[in-house]
């Protein structure tokens, strides 16, 4: 009812931002944003649940409360894997973040795909005989909106690895990687593994950011770099495996530091859920 509209979007958005709650305009009559509204709150609950589950793992909330939030989880879902890694995919709008996730998790691709501002999928990989469960968070958060950064900040919490994606046909998305790096440095755990991903490499004739420029930048920043195409399934699995191996290497370095007393037990079990659940005895080798 645009002509009769009195409460304008920006007033309501400002209020919602102030109250730190999500906001969406809908039309039940014209089926505008209705599903999106429900999905937004569902994702929020889901994120809340997993944050609580993380807090439960670190002892911040009680076991009873966690079960209340997740009735099917009296047996923690992370026990069936050797490691549980949290990955985050960030980057400017339309660079192909969701499609990279879709390609990796479902081997599919779509021209139009939009998740809630932050959502995640699970995917399990096997690396060197270890079962690694990945909780991969997809975002569509813009650096331009202050409030989104609040959401981003929460998403960054506990992330072991971050994929920073740009579009090889769009210079701005590459230039903004520096800003994404700053956000990561601000909000992420120290030593979180980073991977620079140049997506849409199938669009060779429109390519603007060439491989050597991006590689030089990545080398300078001391991060890994890979070009991918979610559309043509080029290097997508490779990209995810690169960051997984990086995190795993990082973990073992930390485990060594734990053995030499440099790092606390709490930090270690966060990285290795199976050891937390007691299937590994204290004097057992790390391969259990
Ligand atoms: N040619 C080509 N197009 C791609 C590729 N990946 C994604 N696209 C297209 O780029 C557009 C954006 O893809 P998305 O996966 O939705 O991008 P996103 O980064 O998740 O976008 P937001 O969620 O809006 O931030 C869609 O039209 C995709 O079909 C790719 O590898 N090659
Ligand atoms: Mg997306």
Q: pLDDT tens digit string along 246-286? A: 998 887 776 665 556 555 544 444 444 443 333 333 333 33
- Report pTM: 0.69
Shared domain for 7 and 90, answered yes or no, is no
Shared domain for 132 and 241, answered yes or no, is yes
Shared domain for 161 and 195, answered yes or no, is yes
Asked if 140 and 97 count as a contact pair (C-beta separation under 8 A), the reply is yes
Please determine, for residue 177, whether its predicted confidence score (pLDDT) is greater than 90.
Answer: yes
Domain presence at residue 266? no
Residue 233: CATH number of its domain: 3.40.50.300
104 in contact with ligand 1, CB cutoff 6 A: no
- Looking at residue 169, its pLDDT comes to 98
Which atom belonging to ligand 1 lies closest to the Cα atom of 111? 29
Give the distance (Å) from ligand 1 centre to CA of residue 55: 33
Shared domain for 187 and 116, answered yes or no, is yes
- Highest average pLDDT, of 30-39, 152-161, 183-192, 254-263, comes from 183-192
199 in contact with ligand 1, CB cutoff 6 A: yes
Domain presence at residue 66? no
Residue to substitute in 40, 43, 96, 121 for testing ligand 1 pocket (most ligand atoms within 8 angstroms of CB): 96
Shared domain for 98 and 230, answered yes or no, is yes
Tell me, rounded to whole angstroms, the distance of Cα 260 from its chain centroid: 31
Q: Please, which pLDDT band fits residue 95 given cuts at 50, 70 and 90?
A: very high
Mean pLDDT of the chain: 77
- Looking at residue 173, its pLDDT comes to 97
- Planar angle of CA 104, 199, 152, nearest 5 degrees: 75
Number of domains in the chain: 2
Q: Point out the least confidently predicted range of 45-49, 140-144, 255-259.
A: 255-259
Angstrom CA distances, 15 to 11, 179, 190, 197, stand at 6, 27, 34, 36
112 or 111, greater pLDDT: 111
C-beta atoms surrounding 91 within 10 Å = 27
Q: Give dist(CA 193, CA 242) in Å, integer.
A: 10
Shared domain for 51 and 90, answered yes or no, is no
Share of residues in the chain with pLDDT > 90 (%): 36
Shared domain for 49 and 128, answered yes or no, is no
Q: Reduced to 3 states, what is the DSSP secondary structure of residue 41?
A: helix
Give the distance (Å) from ligand 1 centre to CA of residue 161: 21
Q: Whose CA is nearest to atom 14 of ligand 1?
A: 96
Please determine, for residue 229, whether its predicted confidence score (pLDDT) is greater than 90.
Answer: yes
Range of 158's domain? 83-247
């Amino acid at each position: 009812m645009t002509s009769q509209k009195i409460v304008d979007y920006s007033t309501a958005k400002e209020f919602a931002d102030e109250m730190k709650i999500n906001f969406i305009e809908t039309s039940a009559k014209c089926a505008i944003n209705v599903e999106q509204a429900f999905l937004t709150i569902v994702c929020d609950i889901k994120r809340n649940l997993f944050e609580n589950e993380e807090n439960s793992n670190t002892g911040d909330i009680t076991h009873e409360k966690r079960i209340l939030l997740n009735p099917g989880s009296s047996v923690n879902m992370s026990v069936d894997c050797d490691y549980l890694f949290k990955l985050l995919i960030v980057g400017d709008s339309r660079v192909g973040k969701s499609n990279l996730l879709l390609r990796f998790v479902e081997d599919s691709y779509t021209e139009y795909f939009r998740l809630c501002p932050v959502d995640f999928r699970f995917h399990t990989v096997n690396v060197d005989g270890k079962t690694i469960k990945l909780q991969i968070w997809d975002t569509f958060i813009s650096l331009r909106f202050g409030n989104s950064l609040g959401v981003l900040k929460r998403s960054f919490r506990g992330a072991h690895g971050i994929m920073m994606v740009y579009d090889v046909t769009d210079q701005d998305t590459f230039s903004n990687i520096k800003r994404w790096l700053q956000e990561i440095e601000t909000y992420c755990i120290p030593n979180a593994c980073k991977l620079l991903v140049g997506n849409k490499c199938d669009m060779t004739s429109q390519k603007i950011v060439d491989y050597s420029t991006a590689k030089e930048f990545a080398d300078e920043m001391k991060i890994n770099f890979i070009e991918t195409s979610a559309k043509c399934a080029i290097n997508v699995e490779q990209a995810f495996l690169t960051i997984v191996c990086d995190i795993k290497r990082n973990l073992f370095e930390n485990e060594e530091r734990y053995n030499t007393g440099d790092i606390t037990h709490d930090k270690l079990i966060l990285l290795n859920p199976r050891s937390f659940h007691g299937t590994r005895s204290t004097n057992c080798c790390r391969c259990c």
